[in-house]
Structure 1
Amino acid sequence: MEKVLNGAEEIRFEGNKVGILISHGFTGTTQSIKPLAEAYARGGYTVYCPRLKGHGTTPEDMETTSYQDWIASVESAYEWLLERCKKVFVVGLSMGGTLALYMASQYKRIAGVIPINAAIDIPALANRTDAEGRFIAAIGSDIKDPETVELAYERTPVRSIGELVSLMDKVKQRLDEIHCPILIFVSDEDHVVPPHNSEVIFESVFSEHKELIHLENSYHVATLDQDKEMIMERSLEFFEMYTNTK
């Protein structure tokens, strides 16, 4: 077993009968979504942020995992929430948003989904799957706030990029399976995931209730950036709105 980095551990809060599953992103950790988790817990919700398999340890550990392993990580968290909650919402940053979209397409009981700078097509990264060597430079910590740093890998396994591309392709084909309410956050300037991804998601889902919110003061890791308070406020409003429905 690889040692988990300090700050990369899974996060759980037991609260009321409404569960919130939050997923971090590719090469990232739960540190990137901890402010959201804490805000939701203060709101009384039951929260689970799993550590995706192969993340929060070493790039060599991540290299041995597949996108199916990452799906299994969020599915396990979903089962934990279902045992305690009557309703479950899914939230995710970057690839975590991709996983959240997968969950919403797969599990019709999910009450709503909030993707934040979710990835379904990253041409610049997809072109690196045949890069020479096992690792390329890090993609983490794309944050506008100069005082904030993301806890993420300093190298990206090339093999894992191929797994991410496979996951994005899979989810892109399933967007029309999403019918639950959706609240999409997108940074206007993002140096990792092209903002157009969120526009495609908005146009492709079959949700009757859908909204796209632009973030003007954040880069990719918006959950740690200068719009994080707005993300907290708007998502809490979303949970309240769709908790009080049937």
Structure 2
Amino acid sequence: MAKTYPVMKGAEAFHFPGNEVGILVQHGFTGTTQSMRGLGEYLAKCGFTVYGPRLKGHGTHYEEMEGTTWKDWIESADDGYRMLKKKCSQIFVVGLSMGGTLAVELAHRHPEIRGMVLINAAMKMDSLERTALEEGSRFLDAIGSDIRAEGVQELAYEKTPVKSVKEIVKLMEVTRKKVPSVSCPALILVSKEDHVVPPSNSRFLFENLKSADKSLIELENSYHVATLDHDKELITRETEAFIKRLSYN
């Protein structure tokens, strides 16, 4: 029987009931809902219904993550979407890093999604692709907490399973092929300096999404986990404005 691990304090899923506008807020690879909670709370104060799921295998122990697949992560995101759909007439998806990858995947699956906010979304990472080809190591060092602001820590795994690296590489490969067919309105936020996901990923999205309504905003003062970094207020303001512009009463 597989060992079960408790959910880390601060890594729990969150749900804030609100109006008919539902917002799915998704964290990244090896990360937790902690990276998105501040943004989620802000959007809830705007009156929206907000749900931040804990992706399968995340927020517990990296050995549990090792047993999950890219399809499990999509299922976690899709479960969140369907839960909001029962309560809300219009849905927006927001994602950081791999959460952005999942947002694109959901927009492809559910064309009725009103808009997506992609924050340093992961589409292609050569470093991880090289790692996925290596043999021997079971775990790698952590990739979390790429934050410019001093004294701010991301709640994330201290090790990364190599098997999980292979899974996110597959997720990016599968999703990247779908980008040209996604026409959902998109707000793309990209850190000028990111030590995890190359900023070229966001430019790829901006140039290749079919969306007629799309914009790219550069974050001047944040690294990868921008939702916890110096530009977090800019992210909340731009996200709020984007959703209010596209939602209908």
Task: Give 1:131 shift.
Answer: 4.4
- How does 1:30-179 map onto structure 2 within 5 Å? 30-129=33-132, 130-179=134-183
Question: Percent same amino acid at aligned positions?
Answer: 51
2:14 maps to 1:11: yes
Q: Whole-Å Cα distance in 2 between the matches of residues 115 and 122 of structure 1?
A: 16
Task: Give 1:188 shift.
Answer: 0.4
Runs (4 or more) in structure 1 with deviation over 4 Å come to: none
Paired residue total: 245
Q: Whole-Å Cα distance in 2 between the matches of residues 177 and 22 of structure 1?
A: 22
Q: Whole-Å Cα distance in 1 between the matches of residues 15 and 125 of structure 2?
A: 31
Q: Whole-Å Cα distance in 1 between the matches of residues 43 and 147 of structure 2?
A: 22
Tell me which of 24, 28, 33 is aligned to 2:31: 28
SS in 2 for 1:236: helix
- How does 1:223-238 map onto structure 2 within 5 Å? 223-238=227-242
Could you state the TM-score of these two structures normalised by the residue count of structure 2? 0.97
Task: Give 1:106 shift.
Answer: 1.2
Task: Give 1:158 shift.
Answer: 0.2
Deviations 1:193-215 (A, max 9, x none): 00000000101100010000000
Task: Give 1:132 shift.
Answer: 2.4
Task: Give 1:93 shift.
Answer: 0.2
Q: Whole-Å Cα distance in 2 between the matches of residues 109 and 96 of structure 1?
A: 19
The letter of the residue matching 1:89 is: F
Task: Give 1:47 shift.
Answer: 0.5
2:233 maps to 1:240: no
Q: Whole-Å Cα distance in 1 between the matches of residues 136 and 202 of structure 2?
A: 31
Q: Whole-Å Cα distance in 1 between the matches of residues 235 and 98 of structure 2?
A: 17
SS in 1 for 2:24: strand
Q: Whole-Å Cα distance in 1 between the matches of residues 123 and 136 of structure 2?
A: 24
Q: Whole-Å Cα distance in 2 between the matches of residues 23 and 147 of structure 1?
A: 23
Aligned to 2:206: 202
Aligned to 2:186: 182
Aligned to 1:193: 197
Q: Whole-Å Cα distance in 1 between the matches of residues 90 and 135 of structure 2?
A: 43
Q: Whole-Å Cα distance in 2 between the matches of residues 13 and 167 of structure 1?
A: 29
Aligned CA RMSD, in angstroms, stands at 0.8
Q: Whole-Å Cα distance in 2 between the matches of residues 131 and 3 of structure 1?
A: 30
